[in-house]
Amino acid sequence: MKRDLREWMAEHAPAKGTEPLEPVMTIGEAARITGLSESALRKYEAAGLILFHRSSGNVRVISREDLQRVRLIRTMIKKQGLNLEGIRRLWSLLPCWELKGCSAESQATCPVLLGTNQPCWVIHRAEGGCDGDLCRQCPVYRVAAGAINDMKSLLHEPVRRKTVPA
C-alpha cells in the first residue's frame, strides 16, 4: 500500500521537524511513498538528476527535498513527455556561472562552459564541488527542478519591445 509523506513523517520524523536537506528515509521508504520502484530512483541518480545522501555504510538516504525532486522528475516524464536524457540536457542549460556569480577566472577554466551536455553538479561532483561548495547544497542544484518550467526567464533577459512612433 502506498503511504503518504505526511503519515510517514508523523511516524518517523523528530518531534521538532526536519530540515529540507536532512536525510530522513531509505530509498525503499521513498519508493513506497512515491509509488516508484527502487530501481527507478537509482536510475534517476545514475542519470545525474538527483544526488542522494549516503550514510556511513554507503546506503542511500533521502531528504524531503529529494522526495520533492523525485516527484518533479516524475511529473516531467509523465505529463511533459520528457525522458531522463531530455531532463538532464535541459538542466545542463542552466547558466550556473551567472546564477552563482562565478568570477571570470573561474569561468575561463570551468568545464561546464566548454559545451558539455551535463548539469554542473554532475561535472563538479567528481571534483568535490565547485568553489568549495557541495553540489547537493548548491543553490543551482536545489532550484533546477523547479526552474524547468521557467527556463526561458533564466536563460534570457526580458525582451523590451520598442514602441515605434506613429
pLDDT tens, 127-136?
Answer: 666 654 577 7
In tens, the pLDDT along 8-34 reads 445 544 444 557 778 889 999 999 999
pLDDT score at 97: 82
Confidence tier at 79 by pLDDT (50, 70, 90): very high
Show the cell assigned to 83.
525522458
pTM for this model (two decimals): 0.74
- Residue corresponding to grid cell 556569480: 101
* Angle at 76 (CA atoms; ends 154, 133), nearest 5 degrees: 50
% of the chain residues with pLDDT over 90: 30
Could you give the domains of the chain? 1-81 (1.10.1660.10), 85-156 (no CATH)
Model confidence at 126: pLDDT above 80: no
Element (H or E) spanning 62, and its range? strand 60-63
Q: For the chain, how big is the Rg over CA atoms in Å?
A: 18
Q: How far apart are CA 22 and CA 53, in angstroms?
A: 9
